[in-house]
Amino acid sequence: MADALLETLRAIVGPAHVLVDEGEIAPFLTDWRGRFTGRARAVLLPLDTAQVAAIVAACLDAHVPIVPQGGRTGLVLGSVPDASGNAIVLSLRRLNRIRAIDVANRTMTVEAGCILAAIQAAAAQAGMLFPLSLAAEGSCTIGGNLSTNAGGTAVLRYGNTRELCLGLEVVTAQGQVWDGLRGLRKDNTGYALRELFIGAEGTLGVITAAVLKLYPAPQAALTALVALESPRHALALLGLLQARCGATLTGFELMSAFCLQLVAHHFPDLPRPFSRTHPHYALVELSSNESSQHAQGLLETALGAALEDGVALDAVVAASVQQALGLWRLREHIPLAQAAAGKNIKHDISLPVSRIPDFILHADAALQAAFPGCQPVTFGHLGDGNLHYNIAPPVDVGHEAFLANQAAINRIVHDAVTLFGGSISAEHGIGALKRDELAHYKSPVELDMMRAIKAALDPLGIMNPGKIL
């Protein structure tokens, strides 16, 4: 049976694009952080939507599960197969054409395997901006971004990937092609099918192409690092900047002093903008469609007010693109510095922005009571209510040994998240990693509706089984 399926698949995509050799398929089986390696019958590399549809139909006939895969940068074990060896991995990376750019409609139509950075570059070449931006943009694909509803650094102004998508082309779990590639901003014709596939992590169908929104490219961007007394002061600064700078505020990232200490220790060549340590920092970005003078005027006036009102302790405004990149590198190197320090217990959580200061106080205290000396690495997209609240061991405890506390620490943090009206996954998704946590925290009503959708669209359960539900 399995051999017959492989023969069918070879006939669909060509023998060169059905990988079965252990050495060849190995890179597709391990997750980005190297925490889990699964097994698969084969890795398939189709070239177009018709081939994807034929593959799904063949796998449906044979009852063989499919794991869609983009750039494999996902952080919740969504794009790697389980250990059973039953599934095939469906890599979308050869579906990488930009099909069309419509500047007047401010849209572009792209295939799912396009690398995010290539989409940004194509938009820029057309004089436009595709605003989705994240540290994995050189490797992740738009199909993966859509399937995880990725966030990134510009959500405050432009929204998550969901808000950046107008239409989808999807191969359903029945192997049919749904052409929903409509570049419409208004379309009230019944259920919003597009929304089901966005954020579904490949459990409902395979996204093969999308219509994305474009924006006018800003004339200037300005970056500043602001020193702050506490997360409450960061919240006050956010409110002040939103009131004074409006839609020009495109980024607002929070970082605790410990984050920058880690970065300074592991990456000593990166800039140290302040001569002394402050308790917290906000990385702020303004983008202006008028001019750099416009952005500078707005930011300097707003920061002047923040310093005068005691909201901010100190501020550094980047004087050049180089300096701005240096400030962003501090933020982007926090996960790398953490990885260099050793393993830690990660949380990608979402909260109402207004409740973040109280959440941090509450969760820090609860963790210290249970695990004295543990070190929260608190940073994230404060403007979106999204914290990466990662817990490193006390100085005298080894990183590996500390991981034994993962379940207990997850419980403390996620209970606190629930108490403050938040979500246990802000932007990374559920995958296989957080599946049990989802079952613990979602209400039975929500879980029932999710299961009903899954059963309706994928009755045989061939699409990425074991992920989310």
Ligand X SMILES: Cc1cc2nc3c(=O)[nH]c(=O)nc-3n(C[C@H](O)[C@H](O)[C@H](O)COP(=O)(O)OP(=O)(O)OC[C@H]3O[C@@H](n4cnc5c(N)ncnc54)[C@H](O)[C@@H]3O)c2cc1C
Helix (H) or strand (E) holding 60: helix 49-62
Nearer to ligand X, 87 or 101 (CB): 87
Near ligand X by CB under 6 A: residue from 73, 109, 338, 375: 73
Quote the crossing angle between the two packed helices 2-13 and 49-62, to the nearest 10°.
170
Closest CA to 153 of 428, 424, 383: 383
CB of 66 to ligand X, least distance (A): 9
CB of 243 to ligand X, least distance (A): 26
d(CA 174, CA 460): 9
Residue with tokens 């994305």: 212
Does 206 interact with ligand X (rule: CB under 6 A)?
yes
Taking the least distance from each CB to ligand X, the nearer of 112 and 412 is 112
Site track for ligand X across 139-178, x = CB under 6 A: -xx-xxx-xx-xxx--------------------------
407-466 residues near ligand X, rule: CB under 6 A: 427-428, 431, 464
Report which secondary-structure segment, H or E, holds 91: strand 88-91
Cβ atoms within 10 A of the Cβ of 135, count? 17
Structure tokens at 405: 């506390």
Say whether residue 199 binds ligand X (CB under 6 A).
Answer: no
* Angle between helical axes of 406-419 and 356-370 (0-180°, round to 10): 150
Question: Residue 67 Cβ, how far from ligand X at the closest point, in Å?
Answer: 6
Q: What share of the chain is helix, strand, coil (3-state, %, to 5)?
A: 40, 20, 35
Least distance (Å) from ligand X to the CB of residue 236?
25
DSSP H helices in 138-192: 142-148, 155-158
Contact 225, 302 (CB under 8 A): no
* Closest CB 314 distance from ligand X, rounded Å: 27
Considering beta carbons, is residue 204 or 391 the nearer one to ligand X?
204
CB of 366 to ligand X, least distance (A): 26
Instruction: Kindly tell me which residue out of 51, 69, 96, 390 binds ligand X, with binding defined by CB under 6 A.
Output: 69
Q: Are 67 and 464 in contact (CB under 8 A)?
A: yes
Dihedral over alpha carbons 268, 272, 277, 283 (to 10 degrees): -120
Residue 302 is a binding residue for ligand X (CB under 6 A): no
What is the spatial distance between Cα 121 and Cα 84, in angstroms, rounded to a whole number? 39
Contacting ligand X (CB under 6 A), which of 78, 131, 218, 465? 78
Minimum distance between the CB of residue 207 and ligand X, rounded to whole angstroms? 4
Residue whose Cβ sits closest to ligand X: 144
Among the candidate windows 73-81, 245-253, 297-305, 307-315, which touches ligand X by CB under 6 A? 73-81
Task: Quote the least distance from Cβ 348 to ligand X, whole Å.
Answer: 8
Shortest Cβ 140–ligand X spacing (Å): 3
Q: Which of residues 32-61 bind ligand X (CB under 6 A)?
A: 32
C-alpha 315/C-alpha 56 separation (Å) is: 55
Q: Which of 75, 377, 392, 416 binds ligand X (CB under 6 A)?
A: 75
88, 346, 333, 302 alpha-carbon torsion, rounded to 10°: 120
Residues 450, 161: Cα–Cα separation, whole Å: 21
Q: Considering the rule CB under 6 A, would residue 259 count as an interface residue with ligand X?
A: no
Can you give the binding site for ligand X, defined by CB under 6 A?
32, 67-75, 78-79, 92, 112, 134-136, 140-141, 143-145, 147-148, 150-152, 201-202, 206-207, 427-428, 431, 464, 467
